[in-house]
Amino acid sequence: MTRHLLSIDDVSAAEIHELFETAAEMHDVQRREVKKLPALRGRTVINLFFEDSTRTRSSFEIAGKWLSADVINLSAKGSSTSKGESLRDTVLTVTAMGIDGLVMRHSASGAAHQVAQWLDIPVINAGDGMHEHPTQALLDGYTLTRRLGTLEGKHVAIVGDLTHSRVFRSNIKSLAKLGARVTVVAPPTLMPSGVGDWSNEAGFATCYDLDAVLPEVDAVMMLRVQKERMSGGYFPTAREYTVGYGLTRPRLALLKPGTPILHPGPMNRGLEIAADAADAADSLILDQVSAGVAVRMAVLYHLLAGEEALA
Amino acid sequence: MSEPTAEPDPGLSAGPDQGRVVLDADDIARALTRISHEILERNKGAEDLILLGLQTRGVPLAKRIAEKISEVEGAAIATGSLDVTMYRDDLRSHPTRTPHRTALPPHGIDGKTVVLVDDVLYSGRTIRAALDALSDLGRPAAVRLAVLVDRGHRELPIRADHVGKNLPTARAERVRLRLVETDGLDEVRITDTSMGEAR
């Protein structure tokens, strides 16, 4: 495995399976009375978040703590960034305190790559703009693998706001490495520009008709409509979006029985996903959250525990 | 005879058939039978007994001992596996290793007598790690240690309760155990190697 986890490109298919194997062991720790492993004792990890996050940040924090690392959370809102400090100065300052690993989220695509070039400690990308969110894709793949046994030859639909989605961009890569077939569904305005060439190259299918795709798939992954990244005009009304692309109660009936439903959260209930779908027996949304801790433990362990981690 | 099925030991510089055989399949079977009886005698029966094999070759050994004990006692013996990768004190001086499976019996280890089973006892560091791991998993009434081979050279105050064979060795020698379950055959070999090795 490479030194950093900035993109799914950094891990091979074999390494993903190895991470899943480790994550499965970590998953058992969640059910223990003593939720603690000593693997990262004496290591310090900083969660540097320039963008809001609840689950990813707390998930990384719990993951680090269960591995006995010291975890520090720094959100840009309360930091010197709001006083005008540059990104470079901020990361150099916090790493100068002697930390061993940096988990970073930033609204600029490529921010984690840039930071990784400035630092000689492992950097984990916890989401950079509209680019990648590798640990989310890994936990989605892990959750699906646990449910379906294998993703080899399985058909997965990714539905929703593709243009703004780093979850989608990372999942396209990881699902391909896991052997799954992917069809992406979105309204034309939320389909990334140039998707034609890209889908040919990366080997996924595109479709604008959700009702035609749902009966065909083995799993459906709904994406959040990212209002905060929209400057407006992507769809006329929320109601219209729901009618065309929301996973509504009538659409649940189109799925094969037992088809798992995923959503990376946070959900806009009633917009891209109806409560009936989110709370359905086949919804894996809470499994994704619990898998998130296990997968992030596996990532932290592989990047920080061994000798390669020593600079 | 089937080919070895397990991944080859990366530390093995000499070929698998070099050196001399110190225990063959019959010797191993006899040693395990004796250990099984010793465990029963020490525990005064099979009640509340758990055999926990250390990954990787302790696991099939624990299963074999459990089978022998249940032959005598007529009841199934709880077994499990314990991986100590995360607890090793040399975790940082090696490339990161993917942990193996830790699987406990359904009712856990609280109040039970846990017999740790390992293949070769050497420095004692694996056992120290195993004791740390156990304390995170529960509170056994007692912990004992059974090993197929004790080759000496302890670096910690640790000793085995049940030993299949005491094997005086030099540090430069390498003790290699192969088992049917992982390697296709049962034997213990000693190889002379100028290179030091971990076990």
Q: pLDDT 10s digit of each residue in chain B, 199 long?
A: 333 444 444 444 446 678 899 999 999 999 999 999 999 999 999 899 999 999 999 999 999 999 999 999 998 999 999 999 999 999 988 888 899 999 999 989 999 999 999 999 999 999 999 999 999 999 999 999 999 999 999 999 999 999 999 999 999 999 999 999 999 999 999 998 765 444 4
pLDDT above 70 for A79: no
Confidence category of residue A237, pLDDT binned at 50, 70, 90: confident
Chain A nearest CA to B109, separation (Å): 12
A68–chain B Cβ distance below 8 A for any pair: no
> Residues A221, A54, A297, A109: what is their CA dihedral angle, to the nearest 10 degrees?
70
Q: What residues are paired with A182 via a beta bridge?
A: A156
Q: Which of A32, A38, A302 has the CB atom closest to B96's CB atom?
A: A302
Domains A8-133+289-309 and A134-285 share a fold: yes
Dist. CA A226–CA A217, nearest whole Å: 24
Predicted TM-score (pTM) of the model is 0.89
Q: Note the pLDDT of residue B182.
A: 92
The tokens describing A242, both together, are 């729901």
Report the pLDDT averaged over residues A223-227.
Answer: 90
Confidence category of residue A296, pLDDT binned at 50, 70, 90: very high
Nearest CA in chain B to A29: B137
Mean pLDDT estimate for chain A: 93
Q: Note the pLDDT of residue A233.
A: 77
Distances (CA, A) of B187 to A72, A205, B180, B195: 51, 55, 9, 22
CATH class of B26-88+100-169: alpha beta
Q: Which of A21, A32, A33 has the CB atom closest to B98's CB atom?
A: A21
Residue ranges of domains in chain A: 8-133+289-309, 134-285
At A278, the amino acid letter reads A
B105–chain A Cβ distance below 8 A for any pair: no
Residue ranges of domains in chain B: 26-88+100-169
Q: What angle (nearest 5°) sits at the alpha carbon of residue A190, between those of residues A107 and A142?
A: 65
Residues of B in contact with A33 (CB under 8 A): 138
Residues of B in contact with A305 (CB under 8 A): 86, 91-92, 96
Q: Note the pLDDT of residue B151.
A: 96
Dist. CA A159–CA A251, nearest whole Å: 13
Chain B, residues 137-166, CB within 8 A of chain A, namely 137-138
Query: Is A310–B92 a contact, with Cβ atoms under 8 angstroms apart?
Result: yes
Domain A8-133+289-309, CATH:
3.40.50.1370
Contact between residue A104 and residue A75 where contact means Cβ atoms under 8 Å apart: no
Encode chain A in three state secondary structure: CCCCECCHHHCCHHHHHHHHHHHHHHHHHCCCCCCCCCCCCCCEEEEEECCCCCHHHHHHHHHHHHCCCEEEEEEHHHCHHHHCCCHHHHHHHHHHCCCCEEEEEECCCCHHHHHHHHCCCCEEEEEECCCECHHHHHHHHHHHHHHHCCCCCCEEEEECCCCCCHHHHHHHHHHHHCCCEEEEECCHHHCCCCHHHHHHHHCCEEECCHHHHHHHCCEEEECCCCHHHCCCCCCCCHHHHHHHHCECHHHHCCCCCCCCEECCCCCCECCCECHHHHCCCCECHHHHHHHHHHHHHHHHHHHHCCHHHCC
Q: Note the pLDDT of residue A249.
A: 96
Size of interface A-B (CB pairs under 8 A): 50
User: How many percent of chain A have pLDDT more than 90?
Assistant: 83
Q: Note the pLDDT of residue A307.
A: 74
Dist. CA A105–CA A189, nearest whole Å: 26
Q: Could you list the active site residues of A?
A: 55-56, 83, 105, 133
CATH superfamily of A134-285: Aspartate/ornithine carbamoyltransferase (3.40.50.1370)
Query: Is B98–A310 a contact, with Cβ atoms under 8 angstroms apart?
Result: no
